Amino acid sequence: QVQVVESGGGLVQAGGSLTLSCAVSGNIFAFNAMEWHRQAPGKQRELVATITSGGSTNYADSVKGRFTISGDNAKSMVNLQMKNLKPEDTAVYYCAALLVSNSGGLPRNYWGQGTQVTVSS
């Protein structure tokens, strides 16, 4: 019932910027947090940034100072502003919403399909 859809990926030159967006729809009882993850070929999926329902944020060391996560519970959206991009940022970026749906139960992650970000040297 809950759907997560990312957008905004693409090809960018090193040093450039991109902003990713994530829209969450469905019957949502409460948000706990929203997150951005990424996975490069041959690598494990890693957590990039998190924003909690209270507005607290945290970032992976590799992106701290370059990426900014922002969210809006009322609009059920989260953005990832990426600046000073590096080739090593190339990956599929996934949005995950940690929430409780109106169907009840414990909080769980709902995942989007991913959006490709490619940074050329």
Tens of pLDDT, residues 36-91: 999 999 999 999 999 998 899 999 999 999 999 998 767 789 999 999 999 999 99
Three-state DSSP at 87 gives helix
Please, are residues 77 and 21 in contact by the beta-carbon 8 Å criterion?
yes
Q: What is the 3-state secondary structure (H, E, C) of 97-120?
A: EEEEECCCCCCEEEECCCEEEEEE
Tens of pLDDT, residues 90-115: 999 999 999 999 888 899 999 999 99
Residue 106 pLDDT: 92
Look up residue 56 and give its DSSP letter.
Answer: -
Tens of pLDDT, residues 1-20: 899 999 999 999 999 999 99
Share of the chain above pLDDT 90, in %: 83
Measured distance CA(34)–CA(22) in Å, rounded: 9
